[in-house]
Amino acid sequence: MEPSFSHSWSLQCVLEGPLASHISSFTKSLEDQGFSQESSHVQTRLVADFSRWLKQTHAALPAITGEHIARYLRYRARHRRRRSSDTCVLKRLLDFLRHQGAIEELPIVSVEAKPYQQRPVRYAYALTAKGKDLGNVLTALARWGKKHIRGTIVAPEFRR
């Protein structure tokens, strides 16, 4: 597959992996945001490498998460020097893919904030129903930790 974007110098290799069809549009979005050609080139190469790694690990596009980024960066650190911007670039890629509808939006566990004091304004926070549903999962994890890991301390709200 040949790169279809105007700066084919960014990729002198065949695009492969689950991100292959999105790399040229990601590069175009970098141009549109005002990134320099050099910066776009570096970011595009990183994304192409990430896509090849995803292919090797048999990751499918809709299921790519921040955990894949963390695993890839650990892998990459073993094979070459890591740049400080790598995490930011790959998170920018995830945001781009979410915006394109290629991967799902992150689930949001929201909280309700109610002011309880006016000067200065202070808020009391409470989980919404969606957040409270997660409480059962956390309680189960706490119970498992208490049973299997010596020294585990369980917060009072998870002692059921």
Residue-range definition of the domain harbouring residue 146: 111-158
Residue-wise pLDDT tens digits, 55-68: 999 998 888 988 89
Calculate the alpha carbon distances from 78 to 71, 72, 82, 85, 89 in Å.
11, 10, 9, 17, 19
Residue 78 shares a structural domain with residue 125:
no
Residue 83 shares a structural domain with residue 121:
no
Tell me the three state secondary structure of residue 125.
strand
Question: Residue 106 domain-assigned?
Answer: no
Residue-wise pLDDT tens digits, 37-52: 999 999 999 999 999 9
Question: Residue 20 domain-assigned?
Answer: yes
- List the one residue out of 77, 72, 67 whose CA is nearest residue 47: 72
Residue 77 shares a structural domain with residue 117:
no
The Cα 155–Cα 142 span in angstroms is 8
pLDDT, average across residues 104-128: 80
**Per the structure, how many domains does the chain have?**
2
To the nearest 10°, report the CA torsion of 20, 25, 28, 32.
-140
Question: Residue 69 domain-assigned?
Answer: yes
